[in-house]
């Protein structure tokens, strides 16, 4: 099984994308057809937020024009239709990641999904202490002496919730270090992940390094230790085929706004056997069976974790985004972005005074590259590129510990998607080549 394929593996498996096809794809994205500072926009910040095709924009608009109503709360025609499209969207996303319908929970974003999970795990300890739940729930409760393991490359969203869970429960947070090339020190992972490990959380693909981590190898280590395995799929779900069952992870999160959908919608996947016993994080309407003045009983997943009025139009739009990606072909998208990523890295490595983070040219990565320009602050680099119509991300990319490990405070990051051409990359490289001379670095 190869959920993550190399460009060589894909060469004879799927039709090749090319610039001509990408230019046709760009016609689906209205925002890309504009000038910025007098230059045609080159959008290379999809790792932060992607743009929306017309089909996604129209799906959300159509919901408000034709079906706007609260879901699961009415018997009238609009309420029934709204509920149907809302739950159809859930099935679409479940199919998109290889999950079951009831294992797919709506959140506002991946950050909320990780916080939901971390608080549910700490609530497991509270329930167990009060005699609520069964032996299976008590097995999920963390306590002093237990360990939570993350990696040194994590986005803050997959680090801080676990720091706080360790604080609330008395558990210890540990991390798998990286080498100078950014790859995980797997020989140390084998000694760090052990009998005390209760949670192992790591990113599928780094938002700074572009590295694709060995998910199945890490998952095997986690499960051998009896740990829950949590996957941050924010930089993988939009870009390459993702099957949570084949990867064998227990939980996974991703955000809609990084995969052609609106902001305000994300997904938490979880194995059914865990979701149905974990205590809820948010409580209120729509997630209960019986309520008295003294206590409440809760529905099973997914409604168990979906209190209150839901993100209905956003969920419908996310399903439209998943359909767009599926119809284009995630294998094909991954191969095209890998080609763009290699073009970026090879070009950057050829510019004097540029340090590229992560794998060198020729090694597998997703279609992004973060880099440091000697003598020029990342914010200045970003403004210089913006003056030429090129949108990139600057800063620490919500990964301060990773930057600190690499001796940096900030970098510039270019991230491609299915609507970027080789010409976009070449314009970017040409502009970067002029940065140091412009600032007299």
Active site residues: 398
Residues with Cβ within 8 Å of residue 225, at least 6 apart in sequence: 193, 194, 195, 197, 200
Task: Please report, to the nearest 10 degrees, the dihedral formed by the alpha carbons of residues 261, 263, 265, 266 taken in order.
Answer: 80
Residues with Cβ within 8 Å of residue 139, at least 6 apart in sequence: none
CB 173 within 8 A of CB 162: yes
Instruction: List the one residue out of 162, 120, 113, 155 whose CA is nearest residue 140.
Output: 120
CB 152 within 8 A of CB 175: yes
User: Left (φ > 0), alpha (ψ -120 to 50) or beta: where does 98 sit?
Assistant: left
User: What letter does residue 286 receive in the DSSP assignment?
Assistant: T
Q: Tell me the two tokens of residue 99.
A: 């999950």
- If residue 145 lies in a helix (H) or strand (E), which one and from where to where? none
What is the C-alpha to C-alpha distance for residues 6 and 3, in angstroms, rounded to an integer?
Answer: 10
Instruction: List the one residue out of 138, 106, 44, 60 whose CA is nearest residue 341.
Output: 44
Instruction: List the one residue out of 95, 21, 57, 40 whose CA is nearest residue 418.
Output: 21
Q: Tell me the two tokens of residue 204.
A: 């599928």
């Amino acid at each position: 099984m190869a959920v993550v394929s190399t460009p060589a593996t894909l060469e004879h498996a799927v039709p090749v994308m090319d610039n001509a096809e990408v230019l046709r794809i760009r016609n689906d994205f209205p925002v890309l057809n504009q000038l910025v500072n007098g230059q045609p926009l080159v959008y290379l910040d999809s790792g932060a937020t992607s743009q929306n095709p017309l089909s996604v924009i129209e799906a959300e608009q159509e919901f408000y024009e034709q079906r706007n109503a609260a879901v699961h709360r009415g018997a009238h025609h609009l309420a029934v239709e709204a509920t149907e499209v809302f739950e159809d969207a859930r099935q679409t996303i479940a199919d998109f990641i290889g999950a079951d319908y009831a294992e797919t929970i709506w959140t506002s974003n991946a950050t909320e999904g990780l916080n939901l999970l971390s608080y549910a795990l700490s609530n497991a300890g509270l329930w167990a202490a009060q005699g609520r739940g069964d032996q299976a729930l008590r097995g999920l409760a963390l306590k002093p002496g237990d360990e939570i393991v993350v990696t040194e490359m994590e986005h803050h969203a997959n680090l801080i919730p676990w720091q706080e869970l360790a604080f609330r429960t008395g558990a210890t947070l540990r991390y798998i270090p990286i080498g100078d090339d950014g790859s995980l020190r797997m020989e140390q992972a084998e000694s760090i992940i052990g009998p005390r490990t209760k949670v192992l959380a790591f990113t599928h693909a780094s938002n700074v390094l572009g590295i694709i981590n060995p998910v199945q190898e890490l998952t095997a280590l986690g499960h051998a230790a009896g740990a829950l395995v949590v996957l941050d799929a924010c930089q993988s779900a939009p870009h390459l085929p993702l099957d949570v069952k084949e990867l064998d992870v227990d939980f996974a999160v991703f955000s809609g706004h990084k995969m052609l959908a609106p902001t305000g919608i994300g997904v938490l996947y979880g194995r059914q056997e865990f979701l149905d016993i974990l205590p809820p994080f948010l409580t209120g309407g729509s997630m209960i069976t019986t309520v008295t003045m003294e206590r409440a009983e809760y529905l099973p997943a997914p409604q168990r974790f979906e209190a209150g009025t839901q993100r209905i139009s956003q969920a419908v739009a996310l399903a439209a985004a998943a359909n767009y990606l599926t119809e284009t072909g995630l294998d094909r998208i991954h191969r095209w972005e890998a080609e763009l990523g290699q073009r970026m890295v090879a070009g950057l490595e050829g510019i004097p005074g540029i340090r590229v983070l992560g794998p060198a040219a020729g090694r597998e990565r997703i279609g992004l590259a973060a880099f440091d320009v000697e003598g020029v602050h990342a914010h200045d680099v970003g403004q210089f590129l913006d003056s030429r119509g090129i949108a990139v991300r600057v800063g620490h990319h919500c990964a301060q510990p990773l930057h600190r490990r690499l001796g940096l405070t900030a970098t510039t990051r270019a991230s491609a998607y299915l609507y970027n051409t080789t010409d976009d990359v070449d314009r970017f490289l040409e502009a970067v080549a002029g940065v140091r001379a412009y600032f007299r670095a």
